[in-house]
Every structure is written in structure tokens, then in C-alpha cells.
Amino acid sequence: MAPTNRSPFRRTLALLASAAILAQAGMSGIAHAQTAPEAAAPGMATPPAAAQTAPAPAAPQQVPPIQSTVPNNGPASVADLAEGLLDAVVNISTSQSVKDDEGVGPAPRAPDGSPFQEFFNDFFNKKQGNKGGNHNVSSLGSGFVIDPTGYIVTNNHVIEGADDIEVNFANGSKLKAKLIGTDTKTDLSVLKVEPRTPLKSVKFGDSSTMRIGDWVMAIGNPFGFGGSVTVGIISGRGRNINAGPYDNFIQTDAAINKGNSGGPLFNMKGEVIGINTAIISPSGGSIGIGFSVPSELASGVVEQLRQYGETRRGWLGVRIQPVTDDIAESLGLDTAKGALVAGVIKGGPVDDGSIKAGDVILKFDGKAVTEMRDLPRVVAESAVGKQVDVVVLRDGKEQTVKVTLGRLEDSDQPGGDDAAPDGSQDGVITPDPDENNDMDQPDTGDQAQPAPTSPDQHQGQGQTAPDAATPKNVLGLSLSLLSPETRKAFGIAESVDGVVVTEVTPGSASAEKGLKPGDVIVEVAQEFMKSPDAVAAKVQSLKQEGRRNAQLMIASANGDLRFVAVPME
């Protein structure tokens, strides 16, 4: 038979087909991700099977990339929420005229014979000749519109001392603002502008419903960049940063910087639940620790400022101190709670004896007083003239008394509204550290309530038992009767009665509690003390009852009262 010759073309086609089959079998695991059947173009017929195997030259195939399975649904956008709020947030710029020579000392002099002496002296002589001129100091802050007619809320420290206040709106317009009222204790102010058309406004929400971890959004004017939006969560509640007597700040990690002061902190409903006021930062920039005045406190203050141009707070008329663990144990409390009444202001709302020194206030108008600083806030938020129920612990038993609140005058207690030492608008406020120890007004001697009297309190020394005049050593204290000599020696006021401390044993429990010579023990365990023997007997009685601490009411030389729980060894 004649030899059969196979066409070179057909042999090549067979080799290519075999290679394709082997390649498909080896990569069958990812073939579906690399190739996809091509659909026929509309209007074109599918070629017959024979045509599909025709040895036509094939163009190189384009292999599509491997498909990714990463989800594309990132965090929910707050763009729609922010868009509806930006127009209600404003930038506030202020200017203040300051004398050029404020804080300027004598001009320096160049050393005699110096080649630069002439130029040096000419320069500073010109500077000295211009003394007395003024220059403007500007500052920036934030605020927000609460009423379409033009009422705006901001921080007091943003506009404090300003000669001129200007409000810049998101649309570029500017209006001069008038100060309606300010409250230094909460660092809040209300301004008023006169717009030609109603303004976009926002409303207060209920900050008491916010929980740690809830999302919040801050809008403001950091470093002059108006309309800046930052988002974070509520990091903490009820923060006390020693800014004033009513500290109850919301803590947030939403970025707050210089210029954000006075701006709003929104919940995800677009309601204002805080007013951004302070940050903790070593550099002046945000490190994720910012503080806002909660709306539950701010809304009432703002409303009063709008109506009256001032605040009208309730006043109880007591001086208070914290209930420590030692004091709680000495009073029979299971935990340290409440506010201990250290004194009653003469002529105040409770000077009628309804509340006494030594009482522990546990509830005020139905609200629990968990710690001392809760009481000033809830009293201040109450209406002037309102009659409220106050639950107190007295003589180991809870009692409910009714009191009618007076009005706290702003002059009674200076506000803790000083700005940070560096003058920054968003620094942590640092007021007098003793601010919270005095609920209503400064603790001065002539306001102290005289110690309780008893029938035999003012007996002369000749009527006192002989052993009562003998100094006693109790709890590391050398005690003696109050006499004209001891009053003169320690400068003790005539209004103070009790048993005087003449010496304190170094290292004793009394010394560790801060007692010192010249202090007067007025009461032990709410019982008036008239002699050193009485103190010794009462302490012994408390030991027999199993008490570990003795609660002492101590009067200073001018009559200021405080309570100290001294461990009984």
C-alpha cells in the first residue's frame, strides 16, 4: 500500500487540542474563575459545530482577574445626617481691645560702649514712646442655632471679655451678635442675632438616655476650619473635671480641638445631647478625650438665660462634705453614699432646724444622692420656692423632711470658669479645688452655725466636776476644757463650744486625719461634748458597741465645721 502522508497542519492542530485538554484538566479547580463562556452578540447566529473546529487563526484570549469575595458594605455613612445639620452650626469670632503696654516692663538697655547701642536704644525708645495704644485680640469658637429667630448657644469662655461678637454662617453670611446672658458655673452663654429670614435651627435631645458606646457626631470650627464633622462614641458619663460645682460631663472620643468649644454634640437623631467644652491634651490637639456639657443640664440653663438673662437656681443653704468609708461605718451606713451636712447657713432655707449639721442627705426630691457632688446639681436644677422632700439619715434612722428652696445668688459663690493656664479655648478648666466642698457659698466664719446647746453647756468652771478639768488623752489627742485662757491661746471664737485639742500625738490616727492643736471637738457620734471626760466616755461606749471608728464634729478656731471619722485602736 502506498504510504499515507498526514498533513502537517492537521498534526499541529491535534497537538494544540491535546495541550488544551491537559491544561483544562490540570486547572479545573479555578477554571470557573478564570474563564467565562462568551455569549453571542445580539443578532448573530451561533456558528455550527463544524465551524467551531475550523482551523482559523485564534486571537489570544483575555483572562479576566480573579473575583474577590471582600464585602463592600463599610460603616454606615452619616453624610445625610450631617448635611441636614451643618447650616445650624455657626462659627463665632470675637475681638477684644487690649492695651499694648499691659504686662510690659522697663525697656532693656544695651551695654555702654556697644557698637549697637545707638540702634538698640533708638528701637526701644520708639517702642516706649508708643505706650498706651491698643490692639485687637481675636479668637474663634463654635455655636449652634436653637431658634429660627436668632438665638445661639455657645461657651462662656468663647465670648468672655469680648468687645465685639460676630457670627459666621455656613452660607458665608455674617451677623453681629448681642450677649443675652451667661452662666460661668456651667460655661454656657446665649447670643442673639437679627436675621432677615428664619435660620436653620436644631433642638436639644435627652442626654440621660444616652449610653456608653452610643454613636455621636460633633460639628464645629476647629482651628478655623468651619463645618468640620467628626464622629465617635460616648466614652463615659458623669465625668468630674473640677470645672465647677455642677460637673457632670459627657466624655467622647469624637475629635474635638481648639475652636470646637461651644459646638454641638449630636446623637444619631440629629438632636443636641451635649455642648463641647473641654479636652484633655498635652499638645492642644485631640487625643480622643473630650468633654461636653450634657443637654439635661444645659437645656434648663439656656432656657433661663433666654427668659431672664441670668440663672435662677434653687438654694438649700447647707455646707456639705463627702461621706467617706470611715464616716459611713461610724454612722452605720452599709456603703459610703450621700452628702454629709457639715453646717447650716444662718438665715438660709433650712435654718429652721429641718436639716441639721451631722445629717446625711440620701435623697433630694426623689433623686438619690449617690455622692456629695450630686446634691449641688440637683438642688440647682430645682425651681426657686419649690417645696421638696429630703430624706436624711439622723441618729441612725432615715427621716423625710420638707424644705422650701430659696434662690442661690450668683454672688454667693464664685463660678469656676477660669480657662486653662495656656489660655486655650479648649483646655481643661481648672477652678478652685475646694469649689465642690461648699455647696452654696464660701465657708466663712461668721456664717457658721453655733454649736448645739444643752442645759449645762455654759456652766462655769467652778460648777464642773474636778476630774473634768483634768486634761485627758483620747484617740491620741490631749483634750482640755474651753476656757478664756485656751480661747486666747488658740484664737478660738466665742461662738465655738466643745472640748479643745491641746496636743496631737505624732503618728496617731488623729494626726493622720489632720487634727491639730486648737481644733475643738463639738460632737462625738452626734452627741454634744462638754468635757474631756465626756469624750472619753463616749469613745469607750462606741468601742463596746463594736464600732471601729468614732465620728467627730470638729470646729476650727473661727467656727467652720467638718466631720472626721477617727479609727479607735
Catalytic residues: 157, 187, 261
- 76 phi/psi in degrees, rounded to 5: -60, 135
Question: Does residue 287 contact residue 280 with C-beta atoms inside 8 Å?
Answer: yes
Residues 6+ apart with CB under 8 A from 407: 312, 313, 314, 315, 384, 385
- What distance separates the 2 farthest-apart alpha carbons in the chain? 160
CA distance 35 to 81: 44
Report how far residue 231's alpha carbon sits from residue 263's, in angstroms, rounded to the nearest whole number: 14
| DSSP secondary structure string for all residues of 31-75 | HHHH--PPPPPTT-PPPPHHHHTS-PPPPPPPPPPPPP------S
**Are 280 and 250 contacting, i.e. CB atoms less than 8 angstroms apart?**
no
Residues 6+ apart with CB under 8 A from 412: 315, 440, 441, 442
Angle 480-483-485 (CA atoms, 0-180°, nearest 5)?
A: 100
CB atoms within 10 A of CB 110: 15
3-state class (DSSP) for residue 108: coil
Q: According to the 3-state scheme, what is the secondary structure of 239-288? A: ECCCCCCCCCEEEECCCCCCCCCCCEEECCCCCEEEEEEEECCCCCCCCC
Question: Which residues 6+ apart lie within 8 Å of 16 measured at CB?
Answer: none
CA distance 90 to 159: 14
Q: How many CB atoms lie within 10 A of CB 400?
A: 10
Q: Is residue 222 a contact partner of residue 259, using CB atoms and an 8 Å limit?
A: yes
Question: Nearest-CA neighbor of 301 among 190, 389, 387?
Answer: 190
Measured CA to CA, the distance from residue 279 to residue 252 in angstroms comes to 10
Q: In this structure, what DSSP letter does residue 204 have? A: B
The cell for 429 is 478648666
In whole angstroms, what is the distance from residue 163 CA to residue 224 CA? 20
Task: Let me know: does 311 contact 300? Beta carbons within 8 Å.
Answer: no
From CA 453, how far away is CA 528, in angstroms rounded? Answer: 8
Asked if 267 and 214 count as a contact pair (C-beta separation under 8 A), the reply is yes
- As a whole number of angstroms, the distance between CA 401 and CA 556 comes to 29
> Integer distance in angstroms from the first to the last C-alpha of the chain?
129
